[in-house]
Amino acid sequence: MHVTRYLLDFALVAATGSILITQPTFAQQQQYPDRPVRVLVGQSPGGGTDSVARVITQKLAEALGQSFVVDNRPSAGGNVAGELAARAARDGYTLIIVTPTHVINPSLYRNVLYDAITDFAGVCQIVDAQYYLSVANNVPAATVKELIAVAKSRSTRLTYASSGLGSANHLAGELFRTMAGIEMTHIPYKGGAPALSALIAGEVQVSVTSGVILPHAKAGRLKTIAVTGSRRTPLAPDIPTIAEAGLPGYEVVGWYGMAAPARTPRAIVERLNSTINRALPVLRDRYVALSMDLAGGSAAEFDAMLRKERDKWARVVKLSGARIE
């Protein structure tokens, strides 16, 4: 009986100790952060996601008095970073910058070892980024309706470039193809830069790209005919949306936000959220320079958006037939 009671007491202490290790106390939450915070980024240094991360982490460090260290883990399309974040201690000292690939990957890859929703707590959406539907100069189309007509004429077999299989701009092109009822052949490249070069050279006819396209369109190297969001962007107010230009209901917006492991204490999530929301107006010019619009909002709103995006892209992945082993 004494042995049994000892084992029960030991189990209780062990369980309690585990809770204390993984769950910070109220006092620790109030002092957060009291040591450096790691911010995982699933893409390489120098890219759009990395740039978003470095702008906001610098401001978080200034506001909260601790280092926020960007940790780039670009392997497996961002899945390595996602797995590390999902399994990190729920204490606010490991965070992750998430993009549409965060909710796309579980539908696209066969062996993703985390759930994009239940394993994470949304902290805050940071910025939005419009995509731009562009065509090569050798395509006889300057509007969405003309592009659809060219595709349906069957006189030209259109190809569209992306930065890789399953990337957000691949699936944005796939959504355009299916909604317009046209045929286009997808040509994946190893990154946005070679895809853009191929479009400028006329090796492919169509692409959905980030704001990096705008200087090339202005210089006449290609034609940017529409933006993918629900409203025009102040960065290019003369370019219509795809929906208003001939394909009602089409909407794709790139986004960047911060998330934490699920069940991170709400006090920590809310402190990060309020700090980001206060910082964003100060950072407007830096994000505009990256062709991005400020977002912000509550943690609950970001969680809801993640669920909506997951469901949307799961349908598009299924339609596209894309799958990565």
pLDDT in tens, 10-61: 343 344 444 444 555 555 566 899 999 999 999 888 878 899 999 999 999 9
Q: Which contiguous run of DSSP H or E holds residue 125?
A: strand 120-130
Tens of pLDDT, residues 156-190: 789 999 988 888 889 999 999 999 999 999 999 88
CATH classification number, 35-128+253-320, choose in 3.40.190.150, 3.40.50.970, 3.30.420.40, 1.10.10.10: 3.40.190.150
Measured CA distances, 228 to 94, 95, 98, 134, 325 (Å): 33, 29, 20, 11, 29
For the entire predicted model, the pTM comes to 0.81
pLDDT > 90 fraction of the chain, expressed in percent and rounded: 67
- The answer, yes or no, to whether residue 133 has pLDDT greater than 90, is yes
Q: Are strands 37-41 and 68-72 parallel, antiparallel or unpaired?
A: parallel
Question: What is the mean pLDDT of the segment spanning 121-148?
Answer: 96
Share the mean pLDDT of the chain.
89
Ordered strands of the 185-188 beta sheet:
185-188, 159-162, 206-209, 132-135, 223-227
CA–CA gap between residue 246 and residue 179 (Å, rounded): 11
Q: Which part of the chain has CATH 3.40.190.150?
A: 35-128+253-320
Tens of pLDDT, residues 98-113: 999 999 999 988 889 9
CATH classification number, 132-227, choose in 3.40.50.300, 3.40.50.2300, 3.40.718.10, 3.40.190.10: 3.40.190.10
Question: For residue 181, what pLDDT is reported?
Answer: 93
Per-residue pLDDT band at 74 (split at 50, 70, 90): confident
Question: For residue 110, what pLDDT is reported?
Answer: 85
pLDDT > 70 fraction of the chain, expressed in percent and rounded: 91
Question: Taking the CA of residue 107 as centre, how many other CA atoms within 13 Å lie in the half-sphere pointing to its CB?
Answer: 25
- The answer, yes or no, to whether residue 4 has pLDDT greater than 60, is no
Q: Which part of the chain has CATH 3.40.190.10?
A: 132-227
CA–CA gap between residue 306 and residue 117 (Å, rounded): 7
Question: For residue 26, what pLDDT is reported?
Answer: 54
Q: Which two tokens stand for residue 60?
A: 């978080």
- The answer, yes or no, to whether residue 280 has pLDDT greater than 50, is yes
